[in-house]
Structure 1
Amino acid sequence: MNMTLMDARLRILVTAKKLFAKQGYDGTSVREISKQAGTNLAMISYYFGGKDQIFEALFETFMPLDRVDRMGQSESAEPAEQLRVLIRDMIDFRLKDPEIISILRHEMNLRTARYEIVQRHVLPMYAKIQNVLQRGRAAGVFRFESLDTILLFVMASIFAHSSRGQIAPIATEEGQPSYEELLRDLTAYVLQGLGVQPNAVYEPSALQSPSPSN
Structure 2
Amino acid sequence: MTEEQKVEQTARLDILNTARSLFAKKGFEAISVREIAKESGQNISMISYYFGSKEGLYKEIIGGHMQMVGGEIRKLFQTNSGKELTAKMFRSDLKSLVTIIVGMKYGNPEMISIMQREKVNGLPFARELHEKTVGPIAEQVIAIFKEAQKKKIIRSGFDVGAFLGILFESIIGYMTSQDCGLSVLKGSYELPKDKEKFIEFLTDLFLQGIRK
1:14 is matched with 17
Structure 2 contact 118–125 (Cα < 8 Å) conserved: yes
Name the SS for the 1:114 alignment partner: coil
CA drift of 1:185 comes to: 1.5
Structure 1 residues 195-214: aligned runs within 5 Å: 195=211
Structure 1 contact 80–136 (Cα < 8 Å) conserved: no
- Mean Cα displacement is larger for which, 85-94 or 72-81? 72-81
The structure 1 residue matched to 2:200, chosen from 184, 197, 203, is 184
Distance 2:14 2:167 in 1: 35
Q: Does 1:85 align with 2:96?
A: yes
Distance 2:166 2:62 in 1: 24
Tell me which of the two structures has the higher relative contact order, counting C-alpha pairs closer than 8 angstroms and 6 or more residues apart: 2
Structure 1 contact 72–82 (Cα < 8 Å) conserved: yes
Give unpaired runs (5+ residues) of structure 2: 1-6
CA drift of 1:24 comes to: 0.9
Structure 1 residues 94-173: aligned runs within 5 Å: 94-120=105-131, 121-147=133-159, 148-164=161-177, 165=179, 168-173=182-187
CA drift of 1:107 comes to: 0.7
Distance 1:68 1:33 in 2: 32
CA drift of 1:100 comes to: 1.1
Name the SS for the 1:43 alignment partner: helix
CA drift of 1:104 comes to: 1.4
Moved over 4 A (4+): none
Give unpaired runs (5+ residues) of structure 1: 197-214
Question: Partner amino acid for 2:119?
Answer: M
Name the SS for the 1:7 alignment partner: helix
2:41 is matched with 38
Which structure dedicates a bigger proportion of its chain to helix? Answer: 2
* Equivalenced residues, count: 193
Give percent identity, aligned residues only: 27
Question: Partner amino acid for 1:153?
Answer: I
- Mean Cα displacement is larger for which, 180-189 or 90-99? 90-99
Name the SS for the 2:211 alignment partner: coil
CA drift of 1:36 comes to: 0.9
